[in-house]
């Protein structure tokens, strides 16, 4: 046995005797590790024991194994890593700056199962044959998704999406080169004016980050209620109520779906509603809320602003046979005001590719769009469109003609 194995065994025994929960009492675990390492170092003077080496490195390795997430903890602690995924025990990948890398970490099947069970311990969620998928939030805010056989072929598939906070406000997106200064000022005005905003893009395109930044622009006097599959939003406002969905219990009851949350949010006196992502029939409930005069924002997976609107017209049809496009299409045209499409480009950067207005017109069952800003080359430049509800901008003191005056600037 190595020094690390001996110390790990002694620490675990002491933790069991004291009845400590490693995930809830990390300070106590560090204290025990330091004590055990100190005693081990003293024993090496009078007994033949494996060499200890760097005490800080040993302490970190033992702590990660007992109170952290073992071999994955170093990736969770690395602020440059955005996502970690396991395709099979011998293939652990990470994403850094939008690009994937195969790591040298090799696990066993038992280690993967043990890590997942440890991650789920504090979430109240489970994974088993009857529930082969799980979404959960780790203590650091990272999002965990797991799929097990026989849904996967042989191995457990694990994804951990870290919420790497590089931007909390629209001006941060300007500094990162995601958005132009003029585009940021315009979107801030749209939020303050109470326009309904749809953020579209693919996986890892920065939709949630952009939604967070838009949420930060909401006037602090307003009350926000947010609905998500798993907590990801972090809105720096005092009057904010976040809600997330819940899995069914072992008896198959108690499930809370996103649609339930959207309906419940309307009973909570919101000034504004934010939905982390619409992907199914909850889109209908959101549209009804927005169409009733309640400002809101959400994200959606789509390859363009046009496809985002098309998807918004399709998802509500999943709510039931009595919901038809003759109702949904004009509702979308009247409920959505602005569509922002963002994309992960080859260099690993996130860029806003277009900001479009939805003027409320429908032609041949197609909702019209007007581009306000478009990406040309490396610049987000002014197009010809104007947002709906100009009176709302005027009422809060924004001059639209000045806000949207053509400017010759690069994407900062």
Domain ranges in the chain are 1-68, 69-164, 170-404
- What CATH number is given for 69-164 in this structure? 3.30.450.90
Task: Identify the architecture of domain 170-404 in CATH.
Answer: 3-Layer(aba) Sandwich (3.40)
Query: What whole-number distance in Å separates Cα of residue 259 and Cα of residue 398?
Result: 35
Confidence at residue 94, expressed as pLDDT on a 0 to 100 scale: 96
Query: What whole-number distance in Å separates Cα of residue 341 and Cα of residue 7?
Result: 52
Query: What whole-number distance in Å separates Cα of residue 250 and Cα of residue 266?
Result: 30
Confidence at residue 165, expressed as pLDDT on a 0 to 100 scale: 67
Helix (H, G, I), strand (E, B) or coil at 298: strand
Q: What distance, in Å, lies between the first and last C-alpha atoms of the chain? A: 56
Query: What whole-number distance in Å separates Cα of residue 95 and Cα of residue 83?
Result: 5
The yes-or-no answer to whether 69-164 and 170-404 have a common fold is: no
Confidence at residue 320, expressed as pLDDT on a 0 to 100 scale: 86
pTM score: 0.84
Residues of the chain with pLDDT under 50: 408-412
């Amino acid at each position: 046995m190595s020094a690390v194995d001996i110390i790990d065994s002694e620490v675990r025994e002491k933790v069991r005797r004291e009845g400590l929960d490693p995930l809830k009492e990390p300070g106590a675990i560090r204290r025990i590790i330091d004590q055990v390492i100190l005693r081990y170092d003293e024993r090496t003077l009078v007994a033949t024991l494996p060499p200890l080496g760097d005490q800080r490195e040993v302490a970190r390795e033992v702590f990660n194994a007992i109170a952290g997430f073992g071999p994955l903890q170093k990736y969770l602690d690395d602020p440059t890593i955005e996502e970690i995924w396991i395709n099979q025990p011998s293939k652990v990948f990470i994403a850094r700056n939008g690009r994937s890398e195969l790591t040298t970490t090799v696990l066993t099947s038992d280690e993967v199962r043990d890590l997942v069970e440890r991650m789920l311990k504090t979430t109240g969620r489970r994974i088993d044959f009857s529930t082969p998928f799980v979404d959960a939030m780790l203590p650091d805010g990272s999002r965990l998704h797991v799929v097990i056989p026989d849904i996967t072929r042989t191995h457990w598939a694990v994804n951990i999406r870290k919420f790497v906070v590089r931007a909390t406000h629209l001006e941060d997106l300007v500094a990162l080169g995601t958005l132009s200064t003029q585009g940021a000022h315009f979107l801030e005005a749209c939020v303050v004016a109470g326009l309904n905003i749809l953020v579209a893009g693919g996986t890892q395109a920065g939709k949630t980050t952009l939604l967070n930044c838009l949420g930060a622009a909401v006037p602090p006097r307003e009350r926000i209620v947010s609905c998500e599959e798993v907590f990801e939003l972090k809105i720096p406002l005092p009057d904010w109520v976040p809600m997330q969905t819940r899995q069914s219990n072992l008896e198959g009851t108690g499930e809370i779906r996103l649609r339930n949350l959207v309906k419940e949010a309307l009973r909570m006196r919101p000034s504004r509603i934010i939905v982390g992502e619409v992907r199914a029939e909850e889109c209908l409930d959101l549209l009804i809320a927005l169409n009733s005069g309640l400002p809101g924002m959400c994200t959606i997976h789509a390859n363009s602003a046009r496809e985002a609107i098309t998807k918004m017209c399709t998802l509500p049809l999943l709510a039931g046979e009595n919901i038809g496009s003759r109702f949904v299409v004009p509702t979308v045209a009247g409920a959505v005001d602005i569509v922002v499409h963002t994309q992960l480009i080859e260099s690993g950067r996130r860029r806003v590719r277009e900001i479009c207005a939805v003027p409320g017109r429908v032609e041949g069952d197609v909702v019209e769009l007007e581009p306000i800003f478009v990406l040309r080359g490396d610049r987000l430049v002014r197009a010809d469109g104007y947002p709906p509800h100009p009176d709302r901008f005027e009422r809060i003191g924004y001059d639209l003609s000045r806000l949207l005056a053509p400017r010759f600037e690069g994407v900062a």
